[in-house]
Amino acid sequence: MAAGERQPLNEVQFLTVAEVASVMRVSKMTVYRLVHSGHLPAIRVGRSFRVPEQAVHEYLRESYVGVETA
């Protein structure tokens, strides 16, 4: 999906904080920190957060530190 394009809400897959932590291989506290700092977008459902799955993949893709070849 190109930048600026949005999926219809009925097609968005949301993940819980625990699911995001599992995908990213980090603790739930790390996910909460990313959400509260604004690095990872989320919506609040009652007292919990839901993170769009696509946002997790975009965050990981943008954070990737690769080796550049000259």
Each residue of 4-63: pLDDT tens digit? 566 777 788 999 999 999 999 999 999 999 999 999 999 999 999 999 999 999 999 998
The whole-model pTM stands at: 0.78
Give the model's confidence band at 1: pLDDT under 50 very low, under 70 low, under 90 confident, else very high.
very low
39 DSSP 8-state letter: S
Taking a C-beta distance cutoff of 8 angstroms, is the pair 12, 1 a contact? Answer: no
Taking a C-beta distance cutoff of 8 angstroms, is the pair 19, 57 a contact? Answer: no
> Which H or E run includes 52?
strand 48-52
What mean pLDDT comes out for the span 61-67?
Answer: 81
